[in-house]
Amino acid sequence: MFGFGELPKEYNVKIHGPYDPAVYYGPKDTPLSEVKLGQLPAWLSRRSKNPVDWVRAGSRGYWRWSHKYLFPKHSGIVPVVQMAVGLSFFFWALNMSDIRKHKLQKYHW
Amino acid sequence: MLSRLAITAGSRNSGSFIWGRSSAALSTAQPLSNNAPVIIQESPERDLVNFPRRQRPIDAPPVRLGFLPEEWFTAFHAKTGATGPYMFMASVGTYMISKEIYVLEHEFYSGIAFAGLLMYMYKRLSPDVGTYVDGLVQAKEDQLRSIRQNEIDRCQASITEEEKAQWMATSYESLIQAKKDNVALQLEAAYRERLAEAYSQVKRRLDFQMERVNVLRRVEQKHMTNWIINSVKTSITSKQEDEALKQCVADLKALAAK
């Protein structure tokens, strides 16, 4: 149902080897960093509209971050600090409407 | 059981065993490091260029300010120089504080104090905690590697044991050959013994035959002589005896006269 608990349809063990949750197995598109400004609407229109794909993209991002910072043998304190800063930012954005009540000035010209 | 099979195979193949996998390659295997080549049988369709096998890195990539990736800074260098990213952060921060998008409320100051305390603790404790945690990681890794290494060692030990068993089986082969030679020698000895026996038996019978013929001839001869002598004796009359006696006396007289 909605692809829960299933491997991506594009994944083929014979070609891709062992499944890596950090890797996107679908067709390759130009990365966002190489997209020209004029091509941006076309690029955006090629993005998936399916929320399941959005969740999968987030999961792949988490796994890429884990492989890069969390899984090395000597990972150190960096992943902890990154997680702490990221969560701080997330909850700051979440509580922004409450924090705004602590404004010192009424007007900002 | 395998040894016996190997013997039969070896007798057909004059003792050279062909292994599916060379045991020499295994015995020279080092305790594996992270960079050791991993030999895995995979499908020929496997795309290792676009989907390479993931290697676990030893160290995390470098960061600045404790959490920002180094490449975020180097990406700016071509356009802004080395200080550009810091200027970007400072200007954006000034703008957000000035417009009170980021409100400097009580939690901001407590956050500064908290961050300072954590940094102090990190500077103070990180060497000891780092070595301790690295020790834990190394112990866990060694334990996990030992599972594999123990399995390799076990297989190697069983291979050497099997080779030794096969080698010992070849000695049994020569032992059996020696026993066969021994039996052949015994058979030869028995054959020669019987040959000698047959010879002596034949010789005995031939000797008996010869002796029998000899005896027969001797007895015949004796009987013949006896018969002749007896018949001569019986044929001599007393008159003849007297004549002979007289002749003898006459002969003696003739001799005495000379």
Task: Please report the ipTM that was assigned to this predicted complex.
Answer: 0.76
**Per the CB < 8 Å rule, is B61 touching A69?**
yes
Residue of A nearest to B62 (CA): A78
Mean pLDDT score of chain A = 87
Looking at the fold, whether A69 and A83 belong to one and the same domain comes out as no
Q: Per-residue pLDDT averaged across A73-90, rounded?
A: 90
Looking at the fold, whether A87 and A56 belong to one and the same domain comes out as no
Q: Per-residue pLDDT averaged across A56-69, rounded?
A: 92
**Per the CB < 8 Å rule, is B56 touching A72?**
yes
pLDDT for res A2: 67
Domain ranges in chain B are 192-257
Looking at the fold, whether A46 and A63 belong to one and the same domain comes out as yes
pLDDT for res B36: 58
**Per the CB < 8 Å rule, is A108 touching B54?**
no
The secondary structure of chain B, three-state, reads: CHHHHHHHHHHHHCCCCCCCCCHHHHHCCCCCCCCCCCCCCCCCCCCCCCCCCCCCCCECCCEECCCEEHHHHHHHHHHHCCCHHHHHHHHHHHHHHHCCCCCCCHHHHHHHHHHHHHHHHHHHHHHHHHHHHHHHHHHHHHHHHHHHHHHHHHHHHHHHHHHHHHHHHHHHHHHHHHHHHHHHHHHHHHHHHHHHHHHHHHHHHHHHHHHHHHHHHHHHHHHHHHHHHHHHHHHCCHHHHHHHHHHHHHHHHHHHHC
**The token pair that represents B250 in the structure block:** 């006459």
Task: Count the alpha carbons within 13 Å of B245 in the hemisphere toward its beta carbon.
Answer: 7
What is the CB neighbour count within 10 angstroms for residue B150?
10
What is the total count of domains within chain A?
A: 2
Distance in angstroms (rounded) separating the CA atoms of residues B159 and B168? 14
pLDDT for res B38: 60
Considering only CB atoms, which chain A residues are within 8 Å of B108? Answer: none
Looking at the fold, whether A82 and A69 belong to one and the same domain comes out as no
Distance in angstroms (rounded) separating the CA atoms of residues B258 and B253? 9
Of A20, A23, A72, the CB nearest to B59: A72
Q: Is the model's pLDDT at A79 over the cut of 70?
A: yes
Q: Per-residue pLDDT averaged across A69-75, rounded?
A: 88
Q: Which residue has the tokens 């390799």?
A: B152
Looking at the fold, whether A70 and A84 belong to one and the same domain comes out as no
Of A75, A76, A103, the CB nearest to B100: A103
Helix B106-235 / helix B2-13 crossing angle, nearest 10 deg: 60
Looking at the fold, whether A52 and A97 belong to one and the same domain comes out as no
pTM tops 0.80: no
Looking at the fold, whether A50 and A86 belong to one and the same domain comes out as no
Q: Per-residue pLDDT averaged across A97-108, rounded?
A: 86
For residue A107, the enclosing domain spans 76-109
A58 confidence band (pLDDT: 50, 70, 90) = very high
Which of B 56-95 lie inside 8 A of A, CB atoms?
Answer: 56-61, 63, 66-67
Q: Going residue by residue through chain B (258 aa), what tens digit of pLDDT does each one get?
A: 454 444 444 444 443 444 444 444 444 444 545 555 666 677 888 888 888 888 888 888 888 888 888 888 888 888 888 888 999 999 999 999 998 888 888 889 999 999 999 999 999 998 999 899 999 999 999 999 999 999 999 999 999 999 999 888 888 888 899 999 999 999 999 999 999 999 999 999 999 999 999 999 999 999 999 999 999 888 888 888 889 899 999 999 999 887
pLDDT for res B18: 41
Looking at the fold, whether A12 and A57 belong to one and the same domain comes out as yes
pLDDT for res B226: 93
Looking at the fold, whether A46 and A31 belong to one and the same domain comes out as yes
Looking at the fold, whether A1 and A16 belong to one and the same domain comes out as yes
pLDDT for res B23: 41
What is the distance between the terminal CA atoms of chain A, rounded to a whole angstrom? Answer: 53
**Per the CB < 8 Å rule, is A108 touching B103?**
no
Looking at the fold, whether A70 and A81 belong to one and the same domain comes out as no
Which of A 23-42 lie inside 8 A of B, CB atoms?
Answer: 23, 25
Shortest distance between the Cα of B21 and any Cα of chain A, in A, equals: 24
Considering only CB atoms, which chain A residues are within 8 Å of B129? Answer: none
pLDDT for res B57: 87
Length of chain B: 258
Q: Per-residue pLDDT averaged across A43-48, rounded?
A: 88
Give the SS3 label for residue A61: helix
Looking at the fold, whether A86 and A66 belong to one and the same domain comes out as no
Distance in angstroms (rounded) separating the CA atoms of residues A25 and A17? 11
